[in-house]
Amino acid sequence: MAKILFVVNPISGDIDKEELIEDLMTFCRQHEFPAELFKTTGEKDEEKLKGKIKAYDPEIVCAVGGDGTVSLVAKSVVKTDVALAIIPQGSGNGLSKDLGIPQNFDEALQLLVAHQKLSIDTLDVNGLLSIHICDMGFNALVVNRFCNGDTRGPGAYAWIAMQEFMGYEPKKYTIMAEGKTIFEGEAFMITVTNARAFGSNAAINPTGVINDGNFEICILEPFPKASSLGILYRLYTDTIDDSVYTHRFSCSAATIINHSGEMSQIDGEPEDLGNQIEFTVQHKSLKVILPLPEE
Ligand SMILES: Nc1ncnc2c1ncn2[C@@H]1O[C@H](COP(=O)(O)OP(=O)(O)OP(=O)(O)O)[C@@H](O)[C@H]1O
């Protein structure tokens, strides 16, 4: 039976985890899975988790939290044989949705019994790992304010986005890939991703494939406020390519000059990536636990 380490974030998604931890342990006893628990504290979690994985030597490390918790586990198991499982308990749960992992607790837990393992691509961003979405511009600002605020949950994120939207000034970027400049100018946001959609289900990269050896750069140029609803509609109907304000470019390596030097975000966590940001795909570098293919 697979040896499992559960990594539980006690604060993610504003959800109390005590009862849930009981359920996890009962489930493992019922299925005779050897299992241990690692609770995050928000302080030196990566260092402590790596130590725990080395000592316990699990086959599966299961993230029980939001995108930040999933990212923490991914950093600890990337380029190893240890597989990442996800029980979504966050505000957005972006990667788990993109991977087709059930959002319901009991269904996600059942994946530990019957699943397939798939190796997916990740991104190296100035030496940091991105498993889902890295962006610069408007969303990064909202993520930054969300992470520094006191309130969690999807409502808090949407509230901050509404507050910031009206006054947001687009920033200047230069994007180079495959030996040429592919974009130079102002943008509302630049999203670099291997996946399809944000945790809100807004599909910024509707044709993204998570293990094809390429990632996409999605440019949302400045747009009149009157066009916002139209852009939102396109994001939620997989038709963002039809907008005159967007471009997508597929590549395996790129450099972005973020002229304003404003904060970026990687997988839901604010990051100061400086002015020059280098992206490289890490092909099939992360093993993930997924639902069995449909028959
Ligand atoms: N015990 C803790 N106390 C305070 N902060 C914590 C604790 N454990 C983890 N954190 C912080 O929680 C953040 C990660 O939260 P996570 O992304 O899992 O949930 P979320 O933000 O609610 O959901 P999502 O990312 O899906 O929107 C990290 O910033 C991490 O430092």
Q: ipTM for the complex?
A: 0.95
- Residue 86 pLDDT exceeds 80: yes
Domain that holds residue 83: 4-114
Is residue 167 domain-resident? yes
Are 85 and 155 in a shared domain? no
pLDDT reported for residue 216: 97
Q: Which of 6, 9, 17 to mutate to test ligand 1, by most ligand atoms within 8 A of the CB atom?
A: 9
Domains: count for the chain: 2
C-alpha pair distances (Å), 169 with each of 95, 138, 156, 187, 198: 28, 9, 22, 9, 22
Residue nearest to atom 14 of ligand 1 (CA): 68
pLDDT reported for residue 92: 75
- Residue 6 pLDDT exceeds 80: yes
Q: How far apart are CA 106 and CA 133, in angstroms?
A: 27
Q: Which two tokens mark 141?
A: 């600002």
Are 109 and 154 in a shared domain? no
Is residue 213 domain-resident? yes
Is residue 102 domain-resident? yes
Is residue 292 domain-resident? no
Are 87 and 140 in a shared domain? no
- Residue 99 pLDDT exceeds 80: yes
- pLDDT tens-digit map of 125-141: 999 999 999 999 999 99
pLDDT reported for residue 75: 96
CATH of the domain at 97: 3.40.50.10330
Is residue 287 domain-resident? no
pLDDT reported for residue 292: 93
137 lines ligand 1 (CB under 6 A): no
- pLDDT tens-digit map of 271-283: 999 999 999 999 9
- Residue 295 pLDDT exceeds 90: no
Query: 114, 138, 162: which is the final residue of a domain?
Result: 114
287 lines ligand 1 (CB under 6 A): no
- Residue 241 pLDDT exceeds 80: yes
88 lines ligand 1 (CB under 6 A): no
71 lines ligand 1 (CB under 6 A): no
- CA-14 nearest atom, ligand 1: 22
Strand boundaries in the chain, DSSP class E: 4-8, 35-39, 60-65, 83-88, 116-125, 128-130, 133-137, 171-177, 180-187, 189-193, 215-220, 246-251, 253-258, 264-266, 269-271, 276-290
pLDDT confidence tier of residue 93, bands split at 50, 70 and 90: confident
* Residue 249 or residue 147, greater confidence: 249
Is residue 295 domain-resident? no
265 lines ligand 1 (CB under 6 A): no
> What average pLDDT does range 62-75 have in this prediction?
94
- Residue 151 pLDDT exceeds 90: no
Are 11 and 106 in a shared domain? yes
CATH of the domain at 178: 2.60.200.40
- pLDDT tens-digit map of 167-184: 899 999 999 998 999 999
68 lines ligand 1 (CB under 6 A): yes
> What average pLDDT does range 106-124 have in this prediction?
95
Find residue 234's DSSP bridge partners: none
Residue nearest to atom 18 of ligand 1 (CA): 66
Residue nearest to atom 5 of ligand 1 (CA): 42
pLDDT reported for residue 147: 85
10 lines ligand 1 (CB under 6 A): yes
- Residue 188 pLDDT exceeds 90: yes
Is residue 107 domain-resident? yes
Are 264 and 175 in a shared domain? yes
CA of 85 to the centre of ligand 1 (A): 17
Query: 80, 114, 148: which is the final residue of a domain?
Result: 114
Are 12 and 43 in a shared domain? yes
Determine which of 38-42, 85-89, 227-231 has the lowest per-residue pLDDT on average. Answer: 227-231
Q: What is the dihedral of CA 182, 277, 172, 140, to 10 degrees?
A: 120
Are 101 and 148 in a shared domain? no
Are 134 and 235 in a shared domain? yes
Are 182 and 268 in a shared domain? yes
Are 64 and 99 in a shared domain? yes
> What average pLDDT does range 78-82 have in this prediction?
97
CA of 12 to the centre of ligand 1 (A): 5
Are 209 and 276 in a shared domain? yes
Query: 89, 114, 139: which is the final residue of a domain?
Result: 114
Is residue 294 domain-resident? no
Are 149 and 268 in a shared domain? yes
